[in-house]
Amino acid sequence: MTVDTGFGDGDLDLEHAIQKLKPVGDAAPEILPEKHLKLACQQLKSILIEESNVQPVQLPVVICGDIHGQYFDMLELFNIGGQIPEKNYIFMGDFVDRGYNSVETFELLMLLKLRYPAGITLLRGNHESRQITQVYGFYDECLRKYGNANSWKYCTEVFDYLTLTAIVENSIFCVHGGLSPDVKVLDQIRTINRVQEIPHEGAFGDIVWSDPEDIESWAASPRGAGWLFGERPTQHFNRLNGLDLIARAHQLVQEGYKYMFADPLSPDDKTGLLVTVWSAPNYCYRCGNVASILDIDERGEREFRIFQEVPASAAAVPPRQLALAMGEEDSQEALRPFIEAEREFVQLQAAGDHDGAVRCLEGVLRAEQATVQQMPDTLLSTLFERLAIGYNTLGMKHLKDNNTEVSCKFFEKAEALTDPANLHMNPESRLVLRAVTYNNMGCFYKSFGKLHTALQYLKKAQKIEEKSHGRCQNPAGTHLNLCALLSQMGKHQEALQHADKALKKLEAAQHSQQQSQPPDSSGPVATGSTNSESLICVAYFNMGAEYEHLKKASEALWHYQRAYDSCLQELGEELGISAGHCWQVGALFGHWQGANASPFGRFNKGCPGGSHALQNPGMEKKVKVAIHKLFGSTRCSLVTNVVDTVGPAVVAIKHKDGRGQGSGFVFSSDGYIVTNDHVLGDATGSDIVVSLTDDSVLQAELVGRDPPTDIGILRIPSRGRSLPAVELGDSSNLRVGQLVVAIGNPLGYANSVSAGVVSALGRSLRSQSGRLIVTA
């Protein structure tokens, strides 16, 4: 079976790929090439999105616990439990981390899901998370085996689509962790938005983090996430939902499985209301435990199949950088302050407390100096990345408040932290954040007039982004910053080129995003990022402003109109207004609210692509009002601009005997004119005269005519001069609702002007009667 990728890179042969991953003899498993991994992940997301948060599964079924990258032990699991599709399988999460073969493990499970979508159900565990996999090994393994972090990114995008729970024949509820005080009935799980990073609290986080405990009710979890839940919540949950059993994983069990909470209705039953299934033998290659799977046949009879570590798994020695993550519990406990500080940073940033977020990380790094030296590289890199983001955010915040001295100090800290000499930070992330820092420093120096210094920093940012091959998140923002700066320096042609590059990158990114969901939420976040529709509006307007500076009115008009259309699409009533998404548009229009402000050529005072966001939701209404006010006056300015530019090329056309009159325009400087065929009537070339705007009158030559389309072509002698001419546009770029300006000589009234909109597209103008004008 093959998967049609639809991306022009060929089909992915599932059978062949699965066989390559299953070694024969001493052969090593072959992981997917990166391009096939990307395609498999994209295809799998389209399958997973169709599954419910409580996915129904039919008997017979094999229920499996944590695997944790112990790939060869997972192959043994299939040998013991049976092969798909003869048996249905449920894997209850934690496929990756800690073990040495997480890549092979997850790739095989993905391929099996693609090959047999109904035969295998993959639940999300707490380790199917960007944050956790950067600490406990999967991220490092992807770097080691693929040479970059792309494979990790593709897989973590799939994590967001994994279903949360499964239910077997409406009686056995399968979940990675356990229960939540926020969930009483299964329908509450069905309503969770699962396509996201696992949150730190709430029902979603609870069901992947919670643990059962021999207590009566609920208690705080020592893990720092989820809950400890006891017998009474378990009984209550099973009774409300008509369940016989909760099957879960998440905890090492030396015997492979463990029942808890006896059923009060069946006191003689040696089982219980809940069972923990553990499927990674000799966990972390040192715990000495056996593993199990729960095999349930067509009649619902349960049997635990026990198995031990296979020799191939024992031969897999973990790399040095995973040693701490897989070491003793006290070593893992030593990491807790850093993990909690990183979580707190994210929460404080989201709440707008950027000072508190930075103090949180700086404090834990100072207080735990001894542990820092032993920390896994991935966790340490994550902390430094967060701190660099915090410094940039505070720098832009203080710049916005005109605290330039404080702002400069934060940018200098960010620059020092992202220096290539900092070997603690992941090189790829350091490169991205250094570009962000340079970009913001460019805005900093531009804000108080040091334009050449600003240009140096923005050029540095651009150079990094060009070398990063798409890893930097906002190269379009850098081009927009360069456009604004160069425009302010009077370099309008170069500014136009940067605006055009920004627009191309934004439209390409928008198209790519439409092809794959959801938006990436991994890695360092550039503080100047905003959504693409807002930046597209900015790019169009910048291009319009630069074309106006270059005296190209028709191009300016077209780009201003596209900017307006983008703004309406982004901020219009039909889509609502989001200040968080549209701050950049708000900043743009904030420069034009003065009564005497010109709507053109002013944008270079702003900082498009800069990094301070509109935080006040009350600005939403002001932004919307400003847009309509702006374009109310802008349209008038556009019309006068068009008249000034195009008017000299408009001519009056008359018959010598006065039998007809009309308008036309010069479209070639050597004297060619287009007009309507009905203006020509039955005249010949010698019967027609043309009046120019300088009051000169010339006899015209009839070049050609086409009555069905009502078009006629004339030519007048140029007499050695270059006549003012209109440049013809491309009608394929027209959109319904676009502004139209008409200039002509109706009924002999020279230089009359009217304005309207494009009312329709794709209509034929051909007429057998020859009468195309039916109203006046």
- Could you read off the pLDDT of 646-703 as tens digits, one per residue? 888 898 888 876 666 788 999 988 899 999 888 887 777 678 888 888 778 888 888 8
Q: CA 468 to CA 408: how far, in whole Å? A: 26
Name the CA dihedral angle for 67, 71, 74, 75, rounded to a multiple of 10 degrees: 170
Q: CA 453 to CA 442: how far, in whole Å? A: 7
Tell me, rounded to whole angstroms, the distance of Cα 552 from its chain centroid. Answer: 35
What does the pLDDT look like over 595-652, one tens digit per residue? 333 333 333 333 333 332 333 344 344 444 444 444 444 445 567 777 777 888 898 8
Give the pair of three-digit tokens for residue 628: 């309509």
Are residues 53 and 189 in contact, defined by beta-carbon separation less than 8 angstroms? Answer: yes
CATH of the structural domain 645-757, one choice from 2.60.40.1150, 1.10.10.10, 3.40.50.2300, 2.40.10.120: 2.40.10.120
CA distances for 279 relative to 133, 180, 193, 424, angstroms: 19, 24, 28, 35
Residues of the chain with pLDDT under 50: 1-9, 318-332, 516-530, 572-635, 774-776
Q: Where are the domains of the chain?
A: 31-321, 328-472, 489-517+526-617, 645-757
Residue 372 has a pLDDT of: 59
**From edge to edge, which strands make up the β-sheet containing 650-655?**
697-699, 688-691, 650-655, 661-666, 672-675, 711-715, 701-706
What does the pLDDT look like over 171-210, one tens digit per residue? 999 999 999 999 999 999 999 999 999 998 899 999 999 9
CATH 2.60.120.260 fits 31-321, yes or no: no
Query: Catalytic positions, please?
Result: 127
In this prediction the pTM is 0.49
Query: How many beta carbons lie within 10 A of that of residue 361, not counting itself?
Result: 21
Are residues 163 and 195 in contact, defined by beta-carbon separation less than 8 angstroms? Answer: no
Residue 582 has a pLDDT of: 36
Burial class for 603, CB neighbours closer than 10 Å (0-12, 13-18, 19+): buried
CA distances for 746 relative to 653, 661, 757, angstroms: 10, 8, 19
> What is the DSSP secondary structure assignment for residue 215, as one 8-state letter?
S
Tell me, rounded to whole angstroms, the distance of Cα 592 from its chain centroid. Answer: 31
Query: Which region holds residue 251: left if phi is over 0, alpha if psi is between -120 and 50, else beta?
Result: beta
* Residue partners of 550: CB distance under 8 A and separation at least 6: 492, 493, 496
Tallying the residues shown for the chain, one arrives at 776
Q: Are strands 165-168 and 54-57 parallel, antiparallel or unpaired?
A: parallel
Query: Coil, strand or helix: which one is 21?
Result: helix
Phi, psi (degrees; rounded to nearest 5) at 64: -120, 150
CATH 1.25.40 fits 328-472, yes or no: yes
Q: CA 461 to CA 444: how far, in whole Å? A: 14
Scan for tokens 């100072």, then name that residue.
366
> Closest by alpha carbon to 396, among 567, 589, 488, 529?
529
Are residues 716 and 671 in contact, defined by beta-carbon separation less than 8 angstroms? Answer: yes
Which residue pairs from 413-422 have beta carbons closer than 8 angstroms and sit at least 24 positions apart in sequence? 414/388, 414/440, 415/441, 417/384, 417/387, 417/388, 417/391, 418/388, 422/384
* Residue partners of 588: CB distance under 8 A and separation at least 6: 537, 538, 541, 603, 606, 608
Angle, CA of 710, 713 and 714, to the nearest 5° = 135
Report the share of the chain in percent with pLDDT over 70. Answer: 75
Residue 268 has a pLDDT of: 62
Coarse DSSP helix, strand, coil percentages of the chain, rounded to the nearest 5 percent? 45, 15, 40
At 428, the amino acid letter reads E
Are residues 491 and 459 in contact, defined by beta-carbon separation less than 8 angstroms? Answer: no
Q: Are strands 245-248 and 274-277 parallel, antiparallel or unpaired?
A: parallel
Are residues 608 and 484 in contact, defined by beta-carbon separation less than 8 angstroms? Answer: yes
Give the pair of three-digit tokens for residue 603: 């944008």
CA distances for 387 relative to 35, 88, 366, angstroms: 33, 46, 13
| Residue 774: CA count within 13 A, CB half-sphere | 5
Query: Coil, strand or helix: which one is 151?
Result: helix
Give the pair of three-digit tokens for residue 715: 């030519």
* Residue partners of 205: CB distance under 8 A and separation at least 6: 198, 199, 225, 226
